[in-house]
Amino acid sequence: MNIKINVENLKNYKIYLQVEQAVNEFLQKRGYLKIDLPVLSPVLIPESYLEVFETEFRYLDKKEKLYLTPSPELFLKRLLAYGVGNCYYFGKSFRNSDPSTTLHSYEFTMLEFYKMGADYMGIADEVLNMLRYINKKVKNTSQKFKFDKWEKISVTEAFEKYAKINEEELFDHKLFLKKAKEKGYRNDGFSYDDVWSQVYTSEVEKNLGVNGYPTLIFDYPREFAALAKLNKDGKTTQRFEFYINGMELGDCYTELTDWKEQDLRFKTEDSKRKKSKKISHPIDKGYIEALKYGLGDCSGIAIGLERLAMIFAGVDSIKKLKLINIE
């Protein structure tokens, strides 16, 4: 890898700064507390689809493993449980095994905010207001999207509409894998999650957020619940993502507050990590302790700041926002 200087991106970088400032203003006006957090942690939330960066603290003969945080969630949820109230983090997150491409980087800037008493659709309203605020504040924006409303579509509707996969086929693993095979996807030795993600990326995503408005796609199958609360149907989860121009910008959950359920999911995710030979790290038991202490109903969203700024700068790669790229 080499260090590349890209001073020609100064104009785009300045738009990035305006987006950053608008986000801070918007959230602070609404009473969200900005929280500075460590990026090195001795424990992490186990997530089967993320690889982490491992490092070590050394002092004389003492050595202790530390991990760069792939998300600030483990810290923020603790603070929420112990009563900090509505809050946000704005800073670097790290994801190993994510090569640097137009939409990915192994280190990126994440905005994560939480609102007490809200569910995922409450956050959706807040995000739409934030997008409007940024659009008003950012000068020289060459973006052509309107933020008057969401285009809302459920995952079930989207699979029916764009991939011609009906509800029964979508949720039944056997039927889904059979249908995917008919469509030409390989399913030998692959899990439902893997093939689902391939069909979603190939056939659904490119249609989202392409009609001049951002699209909110909601209620993912329970296999993708992560830290989100399940819906009453038992099949889907209170998770939404939002898209502009076929690009995913944010991921929101109504937070799971049931510690037993969360403990179970941690174990499942941890065993998936072990199976796929990912870096092993201690599970964050303190997170479960915080849920045991009691987390009130709340909801939160993670938004990739670079991707958000791409929309307002009218560029097609996160690298075009940076004055220094490492490639």
Partner 1 sequence: MRTNAGNLKKGEFVYHGREIWQVQRADFYSPGKGSALMKTRIKNLLSGKNIEYAYKSNEQVDVLDVQSIEMQYLYRDSENLYFMDERTYNQFSLPLNIVGDVYKYFKDGDKMFVYLHDDKPLTIRPPLSVKLKVVEATDAVKGDTVTGGAKKAVKVETGVTVLVPLFVKVGETITVNPETGEYTGRV
Binding site for partner 1 (CB under 8 A): 49-50, 95, 97-99, 101-104, 184, 186, 190-191, 193-198, 200-202, 205, 220, 224, 248, 251
What does the DSSP assignment read for 184-250? Answer: T---TT--HHHHHHHHIIIIIGGGTT-SSS-EEEEEEEGGG-TTBPBPTTSSEEEEEEEEETTEEEE
Which one-letter amino acid corresponds to residue 275?
A: K
If we measure between CA atoms, which residue out of 23, 38, 57, 59 comes closest to residue 307?
23
Determine the Cα–Cα distance for residues 198 and 221; give it in Å rounded to an integer.
15
User: Between 99 and 234, whose beta carbon lies closer to partner 1?
Assistant: 99
C-beta of 94: minimal distance to partner 1 in Å? Answer: 13
**Minimum CB distance to partner 1, residue 181 (Å):** 13
CB of 190 to partner 1, least distance (A): 6
Give min distance, CB of 306 to partner 1, in A: 15
Nearer to partner 1, 147 or 241 (CB): 241
Three-state SS at 21: helix
Least Cβ distance, residue 57 to partner 1 (angstroms): 28
Of residues 21 and 276, the one with the C-beta less far from partner 1: 276
Residue 200 Cβ vs partner 1, minimum distance, rounded to whole Å: 7
Pick 32 or 171: Cβ nearer partner 1:
171
Q: How far is the CB of 208 from partner 1 (least distance, A)?
A: 12
Comparing CB distances to partner 1, the nearer of 232 and 277 is: 277
Are 326 and 100 in contact by the 8 Å Cβ rule? The answer is yes
> Do 88 and 301 meet the contact criterion of CB atoms below 8 Å apart?
no
Shortest Å, Cβ 18 to partner 1: 25
Helix, strand, or coil (residue 237): strand
Q: Tell me which residue of 312, 322, 323 sits closest to 102, measured CA to CA.
A: 322
Q: Please, which residue, 65 or 104, has the CB nearer to partner 1?
A: 104
Q: Which two tokens stand for residue 316?
A: 């097609």
Cβ-based neighbours of 38, under 8 Å, separated by 6 or more: 69, 75
SS (H, E, C) 64-119: EEEEECCCCHHHHHHHHHCCCCCEEEEEEEECECCCCCCCCCCEEEEEEEEEECCC
- In the bound state with partner 1, the residue whose beta carbon lies nearer, of 81 and 110, is 110
CB of 289 to partner 1, least distance (A): 26
Q: Which residue in 252, 244, 228 sits closest to 301, CA to CA?
A: 252
Taking the least distance from each CB to partner 1, the nearer of 104 and 132 is 104
Nearer Cβ to partner 1 (143/187): 187
Three-state DSSP string of 47-58: CCCCECEEEEEE
Q: CA 243 to CA 308: how far, in whole Å?
A: 10
Residue 51 CA to residue 98 CA, distance in Å, equals 8
Tokens of 59: 């002092």
